[in-house]
Amino acid sequence: MSESNTILKLPDQRTATMPKRHYINNEDGLLSWLLTGDHKRIAMLYLMSITVFFFIGGAFAGLIRLELLTPQPDLVSSDTYNKLFTMHGIIMVFLFLVPSVPATIGNFLIPIMVGAKDLAFPKINLLSWYLYVIAGITILTALVLGGVDTGWTFTTPLSTHYLNTHVLTTAVGVFIAGFSSIFTGLNFIVTIHRMRAPGMTWFRMPLFCWAHYAASILMVLGTPVLAITLVLVALERVFGIGVFDPTKGGDPILFQHLFWFYSHPAVYIMILPGMGVISEVISTFSRKRVFGYTAVAFSSVAIALFGFFVWAHHMFIMGVSNYSALVFSLLTMLVAVPSAIKIFNWTFTLQKGSITFETPMLYAFGFMGLFTIGGLTGVFLGALGMDIQLTETYFIVAHFHFVMVGGMLMAFLAGVHFWWPKMTGRMYPESLSKLAAVTTFIGFNLTFLPQFIVGYLGMPRRYHSYPAEYQVLNVLSTAGATVLGVGYMLPVLYLAWSLKYGAIAGNNPWQATGLEWQIQSPPLTPNFIETPIVDYEAYDYEWLARKTEQEVTTVG
Amino acid sequence: MHISPVLWQFLVKWLNASALFPREASTIAPYMDALYFFLLAMTVVGMALVGALILGFSIRYRKARNPVATQVEGSTLLEATWTIIPLALFLVCFVWGALLYFRIYNPPTNAMNIYIVGKQWMWKAEHPGGQHEINALHVPIGRPVQLTMISQDVFHSYSIPDFRVKREVIPGRYTTVWFQATDVGTYHLFCTQYCGTAHSAMIGEITAMTPDDYDKWTRDSTSGMSLAQNGERLFASMGCNACHSGNAAARGPSLAGVYGSKLQLNDGSQVQVTDAYLRDAILNPSQHITAGYAPIMPTYQGQISEDGLIDLVEYIKNMQTNYRVQQTLTTAQSNQAAPVTPEMVKP
Amino acid sequence: MHEDHHEVLPQHLHHFATEEQQRETGTFGMWLFLLTEIMFFGGLFFAYLLFRNWYYDAFVAASNQLSIPLGAFNTVMLISSGFCMAVGVWAAEVRKQSLLVIMLILTTFFGLVFIGVKYVEYKEKWELHHIPGAHFDVSQFENPAAYGLKEKPLAPDMAEKTQVFFFLYFAMTGMHALHMIIGVGLLVWLILRARRGAFSSGYVAPIENFGLYWHFVDIVWLFLFPLLYLINRHPLH
């Protein structure tokens, strides 16, 4: 097994068993899960809930693409269609992408990676999950009661005065989800500042932690602005006064500024944790320290900082002054640079490495390619004049799906596969997972590349029907979506299968560095038997080699 | 563009024939497409570079070929390279994009003006001569056309992809965009800002015609009064002429020739009198008092539609003398329509 | 000689190495939470400053409607409650249980008075039809003389903008009052626990952290009061 093209090293399956005690069998009963303070259990609770919401949001995407097979509005009514894309956006953004990596993988791993027994505030962590669930139920309630059709962007005055759908219920749901996010971010920041083990300096932390730290700053500082904006929308809707209504002296552009002040950093909240995953995966499967550790760490923080100053690039054609448009365009170009730096650093991590191509690495490669395209098309949009043609068309839809789905979702899947053995003690079936990864990649490109083209042609977004000459491209896109759907179903199936029938993983099947791989799989509830003392750098494969030489691994 | 014009035309026509690329039907379209191709090229080169590196490294350094990795901390030189080069490229995009943006949103002074009012879920176009169109717009080729747009309800966006222009249409203030059509034909008009149930039905047709055909169309589709004439009627029927009569002791300032001038306000500031100013002054007069006058003008907020405001604005824009104002002072409604060009005085 | 620093409190949580780490972490967390609150209120402050700039005359006239005496009295109430809270924190640190309880009760008392005065102010607005919405009445601003006021009258379109002022007034003071009510609720809980001696044996973190929260709510009011009540108040002749 060790001469082959994989670094996977599993214990002898004839004698291997799961550890006697771990966080899953430590306590029994539903209440022990629902009232847990254990960050690992909370992470699992999150994983199950976001998967449910992912598939609900995905079902809506399927219906949208189905409708768009034909130019005519013939599958559902216009109002229903509007509700479908609104719910798809709200669920995917607030109930899937924002919590995806941080609340599942981040919650599970950050305490372990810094050498702590738990996050700083376990009860707040649990509260965070409950807020998430309540938010999800609230949004589903809005759905069941008849849906909402504001678009996920709640543009005023449409959302305040011109719709009689369940705007208020949805706004309340998103508000609560926002606080779930704020508490998660707060927990991470305090944990990273205050709970690192002896010897774990800032620059010895895995880059995964740096990425989450940066994302947490955004969560903590940006999300409250969304909260107050939703409060104002709700008040205006209920009491009919006009802080966003021009006939009453208000200004709808004020809403745009307040909304995008959060929603632009939100996209970095969504992508930064994914970038953290990629750092870990690329490093492990090249057996090499990430090239330019400091640059990658600082670029995460730079993205967070710059990300606060570019919000009006969503408003270039809305009548903002030409001069503010200039400033925001310039800053948008600046925020693109740290992402480019990361891509190159990851690429050069491969050089002189010893590369293998297990499933997490495949997803990571997919991320790098697709995120590069997505990020560069962002530069298209940041160039003022170009934005005039491209904004509000399918080019935008393609751009953000490239970064969010081709980027973030691939990173999430990379992370789930990479840390699955750690979280569950089991390995997933490798050939099936590789198939799923490739299927996803092909399906994704088929779905979203045609959308760039049809966007430049002029097809607007959020359109129920469209001119006939756009049909071929839409059919390609729907075909791709079908393949993509299959690609996403497969992991659910084989990962569930692996819980019972997967190979026993052992402590460190990937022979990776990082504190999480030095403890058992699944970990004990307090993570460590004794507090680790860290006297080596991150990604120290030489240290790892020395350590494994001296060790005798037993499992059971 | 340093590509030979022949090659460029061929490229564009070929792309368009396969319905993968929009037509270039305005003067700005080639500039937009040039930037687009530059960005596309940058993306393809960037992808190729990253792709080649990943592929190359994956093959050369795969485990079978390189069983032991060499730990490398980093390279400040490389970091600097891939910081500075992308930054430089992005800044080029910034400058180019900014120049294009200013070109599209700053109309030439000789542009003819057409008003657009967007409402759920249709577009109304109002030519100064009084021609009204629904979900359509007729324009001449070879002349710069400025669209002054406003929404009656929610956010919309006026988009003509083949002209490469688009602008948000907002309630409460005018937004403008301009273009000069180059090819006769019909082109898509879309509303691109989600505006409710029938958002995807808020589409229309732009018809670009030769100047002669356009003149003919203008004459054939006049529905009676021009915008300015309608404005004159409103000016009298809503009582504006009572204070803005042009008399020396009038309670309100004379509006003849005020459009385009620099006006001194009573709080000491100076403003440029634009369409937006005129509209705002009608709706929020207390913030737009001309110096030397008392703040007694009532507000017309809620009493006049955007169409009516456009008529009034158009009337005041073309008002060179107070002759017609004086003439209509004694009539509650101006039943005698003024001549098409109000300054043409009938003896 | 380690007795002072290594006494293990019953409230010591297992995932912290030392009690000191637990306490510092808790305080850090509270400061971070207050930062999010600043961003939360920030949106409202931004909207207020924007509209005040646009509709200056309306905002001045509407601001004159607010009662400075009541606002000033409330400010004194809040500062007093803040002082009592600070003394309470000290009392917890030096383990004077009865002083702590008294201070917490006083803090609550001042907080309740504040909320009571706010109720009085809101009720007055209701009676004058200054609550934004369908029943808002601008006549007092268009024709102050008829109400016995010596203000300058506002033009009708500017008078309409007073509604924006009142909307922001209610939104900002309402949000602030909501935070105070939550604070009073927490105070009641703290008083009950303090009476049972929960904070008199060295475990002061909840008192300290609540103190931070309470002082923050105090500071928000110290910004609200001048911005809403005081600036550009011109003397009535």
Nearest residue to A154 via CA among A79, A263, A67: A263
A239 to chain C: closest CA residue: C133
Contact call for C175 and A231, based on CB within 8 A: yes
Give the best residue of A4, A150, A334, A380 to mutate against chain B (max B CB count within 10 A).
A380
Q: What is the pLDDT of residue B339?
A: 47
A243 to chain C: closest CA residue: C164
Is it the case that residue B17 has pLDDT exceeding 80?
no
Q: What is the pLDDT of residue C7?
A: 53
Domains of chain A by range and CATH?
30-550 (1.20.210.10)
Residues 6+ apart with CB under 8 A from B157: A317, A392, B166, B167, B168, B169, B191, B192, B193
The span from the CA of C52 to the CA of C34, in Å, is 26
Q: How far off is chain C from B284, nearest CA to CA, in Å?
A: 6
The span from the CA of A441 to the CA of A105, in Å, is 22
The span from the CA of C227 to the CA of C207, in Å, is 30
Residues of A in contact with C51 (CB under 8 A): 243, 249-250
Say yes or no: A219 contacts chain C, CB-CB below 8 A. Answer: no
Q: How far off is chain A from C39, nearest CA to CA, in Å?
A: 6
Q: How far off is chain C from B72, nearest CA to CA, in Å?
A: 36
Q: What is the pLDDT of residue A248?
A: 81
Q: Sort B270 into a burial class: Cβ within 10 Å, 0-12 / 13-18 / 19+.
A: exposed
Q: Which of A193, A225, A242 sits opposite C42 (nearest CB)?
A: A225
Q: Round the average pLDDT of chain A to a whole number and report it.
A: 94
Task: Look up residue A261 and give its two tokens.
Answer: 């002040």
Query: What is the b/e burial string over C191-217, where b = at least 16 CB atoms within 10 angstroms of the residue's CB?
Result: beebbeebbbeebbbbbbbbbbbbbbb
Contact call for C36 and A189, based on CB within 8 A: no
The span from the CA of C177 to the CA of C170, in Å, is 10
Structural contact between residues C183 and C217, judged by C-beta atoms closer than 8 angstroms: yes
Q: How confident is the model at residue B298 (pLDDT cuts 50, 70, 90)?
A: confident
Give the best residue of B149, B175, B193, B305 to mutate against chain A (max A CB count within 10 A).
B193
Residues of B in contact with A286 (CB under 8 A): 61, 69
Q: What is the pLDDT of residue B342?
A: 46
Is residue C6 in some structural domain?
Answer: no
Which residues of C touch chain B, with CB atoms under 8 Å apart? 57, 154-158, 160
Q: How confident is the model at residue B80 (pLDDT cuts 50, 70, 90)?
A: very high
- The sign of the CA dihedral B46, B52, B55, B61 is negative
Distance in angstroms between the alpha carbons of the first and the last residue of chain C: 72
Q: How confident is the model at residue B335 (pLDDT cuts 50, 70, 90)?
A: very low
The interface predicted TM-score (ipTM) is 0.93
Say yes or no: B231 contacts chain A, CB-CB below 8 A. Answer: no
Q: How confident is the model at residue C2 (pLDDT cuts 50, 70, 90)?
A: very low
Contact call for C40 and A232, based on CB within 8 A: no
The span from the CA of A516 to the CA of A523, in Å, is 8
Domains of chain B by range and CATH?
5-105 (1.10.287.90), 112-220 (2.60.40.420), 227-327 (1.10.760.10)
Q: How far off is chain B from A3, nearest CA to CA, in Å?
A: 8
Structural contact between residues A476 and A438, judged by C-beta atoms closer than 8 angstroms: no
Q: What is the pLDDT of residue C136?
A: 85
Number of separate domains in chain C: 1
- In the three-class reduction of DSSP (H, G, I as helix; E, B as strand; rest coil), residue A382 is classed as helix
Q: What is the DSSP string of C105-121?
A: HHHHHHHHHHHHHHHHH
Contact call for C47 and A120, based on CB within 8 A: no
Give the best residue of A190, A262, A530 to mutate against chain C (max C CB count within 10 A).
A190
Is it the case that residue B56 has pLDDT exceeding 50?
yes
Cβ pairs B/C, distance under 8 A: 24
Q: How confident is the model at residue C9 (pLDDT cuts 50, 70, 90)?
A: low
Quick: pLDDT tens for A443-478: 999 999 999 999 999 999 999 999 999 999 999 999
Q: How confident is the model at residue A5 (pLDDT cuts 50, 70, 90)?
A: confident
Is it the case that residue B345 has pLDDT exceeding 50?
no
> pLDDT > 90: what percent of chain B?
65
β-strands B132-134, B122-126: how paired? antiparallel
Phi, psi of C231 (to 5 degrees): -70, 145
- β-bridge mates for residue B168, sequence order: B157
Structural contact between residues A446 and A402, judged by C-beta atoms closer than 8 angstroms: no
Amino acid (1-letter code) at residue B206: I
A528 to chain C: closest CA residue: C15
Is residue C72 in some structural domain?
Answer: yes
Q: What is the pLDDT of residue C158?
A: 86
Structural contact between residues A197 and A533, judged by C-beta atoms closer than 8 angstroms: yes
Looking at residue A468, what DSSP letter applies?
Answer: G
Residues 6+ apart with CB under 8 A from B92: none
Contact call for B296 and C158, based on CB within 8 A: no
SS (H, E, C) chain B: CCCCHHHHHHHHHHHHHCCCCCCCCECCHHHHHHHHHHHHHHHHHHHHHHHHHHHHHHHHCECCCCCCCCCCCCCHHHHHHHHHHHHHHHHHHHHHHHHHHHHHHCCCCCCEEEEEEEECCEEEEECCCCCEEECEEEEEECCEEEEEEEECCCCEEEEEHHHCEEEEECECCCEEEEEEECCCEEEEEEECCCCCCCHHHCCEEEEEECHHHHHHHHHHCCCCCCHHHHHHHHHHHCCHHHHCCCCCCCCCCCCCCCCCCEEEECCCCEEECCHHHHHHHHHCHHHCCECCCCCCCCCCCCCCCHHHHHHHHHHHHCCCCCHHHHHCCCCCCCCCCCCCCCCCCCC
Q: How far off is chain B from C80, nearest CA to CA, in Å?
A: 43
Q: What is the pLDDT of residue A219?
A: 96
Quick: pLDDT tens for A239-249: 877 789 888 88
Q: Average pLDDT for residues C25-45, to the nearest whole number?
A: 95
Quick: pLDDT tens for A379-407: 999 999 999 999 999 999 999 999 999 99
Q: What is the pLDDT of residue B239?
A: 87
Quick: pLDDT tens for B192-229: 999 999 999 999 999 999 999 999 999 888 767 888 88
Contact call for B22 and A292, based on CB within 8 A: no
Quick: pLDDT tens for B129-172: 888 999 999 999 999 999 999 999 999 999 999 999 999 999 99
Q: Which of C28, C37, C164 sits opposite A243 (nearest CB)?
A: C164
Residues of C in contact with A194 (CB under 8 A): 21, 24-25, 28
- The chains found to touch B (3+ Cβ pairs under 8 angstroms) are A, C
Quick: pLDDT tens for B232-283: 989 988 888 888 988 888 889 999 999 999 999 988 889 999 999 999 999 9
Residues of C in contact with A241 (CB under 8 A): 132-133, 136, 163-164, 167
Q: What is the pLDDT of residue A2?
A: 47
Quick: pLDDT tens for C52-108: 999 988 999 899 889 999 999 999 999 999 999 999 999 999 999 999 999 999 999
Structural contact between residues B319 and B260, judged by C-beta atoms closer than 8 angstroms: no
Which residues of C touch chain A, with CB atoms under 8 Å apart? 13-17, 21, 24-25, 28-29, 32-33, 35-37, 39-44, 46-47, 50-51, 54-55, 132-134, 136, 160-161, 163-164, 167-168, 171, 175
Q: Please, what is the Cα angle at B187 between B183 and B189, to 5 degrees?
A: 140
Contact call for C157 and B284, based on CB within 8 A: yes
Structural contact between residues B109 and B116, judged by C-beta atoms closer than 8 angstroms: no
Distance in angstroms between the alpha carbons of the first and the last residue of chain B: 57
Q: What is the pLDDT of residue A1?
A: 41
Is it the case that residue A532 has pLDDT exceeding 90?
yes
Q: What is the pLDDT of residue A555?
A: 53
Q: How far off is chain C from A51, nearest CA to CA, in Å?
A: 29
Contact call for A231 and C171, based on CB within 8 A: yes
The span from the CA of A361 to the CA of C176, in Å, is 50
The span from the CA of B200 to the CA of A76, in Å, is 14
Is it the case that residue B338 has pLDDT exceeding 60?
no
β-strands B204-209, B136-140: how paired? parallel
Contact call for B284 and C158, based on CB within 8 A: yes
Is it the case that residue C120 has pLDDT exceeding 50?
yes
Question: Does the bond joining B217 to the residue before it have cis omega, within 30 degrees of 0?
Answer: no
Q: Average pLDDT for residues B275-292, to the nearest whole number?
A: 90
Q: What is the pLDDT of residue B3?
A: 64
Q: Which of B63, B74, B172 sits opposite A5 (nearest CB)?
A: B63
Contact call for B287 and C158, based on CB within 8 A: yes
Structural contact between residues A341 and A294, judged by C-beta atoms closer than 8 angstroms: no
Residues 9-38 of B with CB under 8 A from A: 19-22, 31-32, 35-36
Contact call for B22 and A149, based on CB within 8 A: no
Amino acid (1-letter code) at residue C113: V
Q: Average pLDDT for residues A115-137, to the nearest whole number?
A: 96
Contact call for B301 and C158, based on CB within 8 A: no
Cβ pairs A/C, distance under 8 A: 108
Is it the case that residue C234 has pLDDT exceeding 70?
no
Query: What is the b/e burial string over B113-125, where b = at least 16 CB atoms within 10 angstroms of the residue's CB?
Result: bbbbbbbbbbbbb
Q: Which of B22, B47, B154 sits opposite A458 (nearest CB)?
A: B22
Say yes or no: A252 contacts chain C, CB-CB below 8 A. Answer: no
Q: Which of A265-274, A417-426, B321-330, C32-41 has the lowest mean pLDDT?
A: B321-330
Give the best residue of A245, A339, A389 to mutate against chain B (max B CB count within 10 A).
A389
Domain coverage including residue C48: 39-230
- The chains found to touch C (3+ Cβ pairs under 8 angstroms) are A, B
Q: What is the pLDDT of residue C3?
A: 39
Q: Which of C17, C37, C47 sits opposite A243 (nearest CB)?
A: C47
Q: How far off is chain B from C225, nearest CA to CA, in Å?
A: 27
Q: How far off is chain B from C66, nearest CA to CA, in Å?
A: 23
Q: How far off is chain A from B100, nearest CA to CA, in Å?
A: 5
Q: What is the pLDDT of residue A553?
A: 55
Contact call for C156 and B298, based on CB within 8 A: yes
CATH number at residue C82: 1.20.120.80
Residues of A in contact with B199 (CB under 8 A): 78, 82, 462-464
Q: Round the average pLDDT of chain C to a whole number and report it.
A: 89
